[in-house]
A and B are shown apart, each in its own frame.
Chain A
C-alpha cells in the first residue's frame, strides 16, 4: 500500500540508551558454539557490544528521563505536547496504555491524546505515519513519538540467534506540521500468516505464563529458550527481508520519481551487518550510504534502531544540514514499510545514556 503525506517534518530526535554495556565476548560462554566459531560469527554479523537495561528498568523510566532532559534543556515545553504516541512491544501493563503512565509521570495536560501501538522492527515508520495523520487535526500541533523497547528481558541468554543482537533503548522524535512544501512518499505491507516468525509465545491471554512456560528447552540448533522468551526463525526472517525489502524500495523510488543516487542516506532497521550489506549490494547502494553500525555499538532495539542510526551517524550535522533519506523497517508481524523524506536542520539530534 502506497501512502503520501504532505507538509510534515521531524524537528528533533533524542535517543536514550542504557548506560550498561555488555560485550559479545563476555556472553560467548553461554552459547553452544566453539569460541572460534563464535568469533567468526561476531565478524560476519557485526556483533560487538550491546546496551542492556537494568532488570528493574521500564520503558516509562527511559521515556520520562528523555522528555525531562528535553524540557530541562529548553528543547521541548510540556504544554506543547498534544499527543504522546508510544510504539512498543515492552508495555508495562496489559492495561492501561504505557503512554498514559508516561503522561501521568510527567504531569502533562489532560487535553491531549495518549496512544500505544504494538509494533517492532517497522515501529519507527508506523509511528511516523500515525503522527502525520494525527497532525491533520487542527488542534494537534506537536506529536511526541516515543519508540521504546526493553526486550532483552525476554531473550534467553543462551539463545545465540537473538541474544547477541538484542539491545534496549528508547527514542523521542518530535513531529510537527511544516510550512514549507514537503512531500513524504511511503509504503507499507503486512503478512500476518507468518506471525510466528518473531514471537514471544507465552505471557499473553492465549498462553499465560506458568512455571512450565518458564522451563528452558534446547532446539535443534543448540539454543536454549523457554516459551516465555522471544524466539526468532532467523532463516525465515532473513529470506523474507532479502525477498521483500529490495522490491519495496525500488517501488518506493519509482512512485516518488526519485533517483536512487539522489538519496543521501538509507537509514534502515538494524538487525545485523550481514543482512544490511546484502540489502545494500542487492539495491546497488554504496554500503557507506546505508549505515550498518548500530548492532555492533548498541544492539538492535527494535523500533529504536532507525532513530539510533540517525542520531549516531548524523549527530550534530543534522542541526546544520539537510538530507534526503530513505528509511525502511522490516520484521515482526511480518511488517515491512519504507518512506522517503527530507530531514532538515533539526533542533536536536543526539544520544544520551540512562
Chain B
C-alpha cells in the first residue's frame, strides 16, 4: 500500500520525493488543495469515503499517517 500512496502523491506533486521520511505538510509538499485531490483519489481507488472530520493536516503528514487514515476508514492493510 505504501508504494501505491507514494505513486499517487508523486502524480499530484511530481516535483517532490515522497519516499523521504519527512513531514509533507511542514515541508510544504502538500497544501490544502493537494489534500482535496489526494482524498478524492484515495476515495476512488479504495472505494471508501474518508470521513470529513479526518481531513486534517496531521493525517496527511507522512506515508504512515496516510496508511493509518486509510485503515481507520475501512481499507484493509
A contact residues vs B (CB 8 Å cutoff): 33, 37, 40-41, 43-45, 160, 221, 234-235, 238-239, 241-243, 274-275, 277-279, 281-282
Point out the residues of chain B lying under 8 angstroms from A160, CB to CB.
Answer: 33
B7 beta carbon closer than 8 Å to chain A: no
**Can you spell out 22 A-B residue pairs with CB atoms less than 8 angstroms apart?**
A37-B34, A40-B37, A41-B33, A41-B37, A43-B40, A44-B37, A160-B33, A221-B31, A221-B32, A235-B32, A239-B55, A239-B56, A242-B51, A274-B39, A275-B52, A278-B51, A278-B55, A281-B49, A281-B51, A281-B52, A282-B52, A282-B53
- Closest partner residue, chain A, to B33 (CB atom): A41
Number of A-B contacts (CB under 8 A): 49
B5 beta carbon closer than 8 Å to chain A: no
User: Considering the chains assembled together, what is the distance between the CA atoms of A221 and B31 in angstroms?
Assistant: 8
A243 x B53 contact (CB < 8 A):
yes
B71 beta carbon closer than 8 Å to chain A: no
Interface centre among B32, B33, B40, B53 (most CB of A within 10 A): B33
- Closest partner residue, chain B, to A242 (CB atom): B52
Point out the residues of chain A lying under 8 angstroms from B37, CB to CB.
Answer: 37, 40-41, 44
Interface of A is mostly: helix
Question: B36, B52, B53: which contacts A41 (Cβ < 8 A)?
Answer: B36
Which 10 interchain pairs have the tightest Cβ spacing? A242-B52, A278-B52, A281-B49, A44-B40, A40-B37, A44-B36, A242-B53, A235-B32, A41-B33, A44-B37
B12 beta carbon closer than 8 Å to chain A: yes
Interface of B is mostly: helix
Known A40-B37, A41-B37, A44-B40; judge A279-B32 contact (CB<8 A).
no
A278 x B49 contact (CB < 8 A):
yes
Q: How far is the CB of A219 from chain B (nearest CB, A)?
A: 11
Point out the residues of chain A lying under 8 angstroms from B52, CB to CB.
Answer: 238, 241-242, 275, 278-279, 281-282
Q: How far is the CB of A250 from chain B (nearest CB, A)?
A: 14
- Closest partner residue, chain B, to A239 (CB atom): B56
Point out the residues of chain B lying under 8 angstroms from A282, CB to CB.
Answer: 49, 51-53
Task: Give B38-71 as 1s and 0s: 1 = Cβ < 8 Å from A's Cβ atoms.
Answer: 0110000000010111011100000000000000
Q: How far is the CB of A232 from chain B (nearest CB, A)?
A: 12
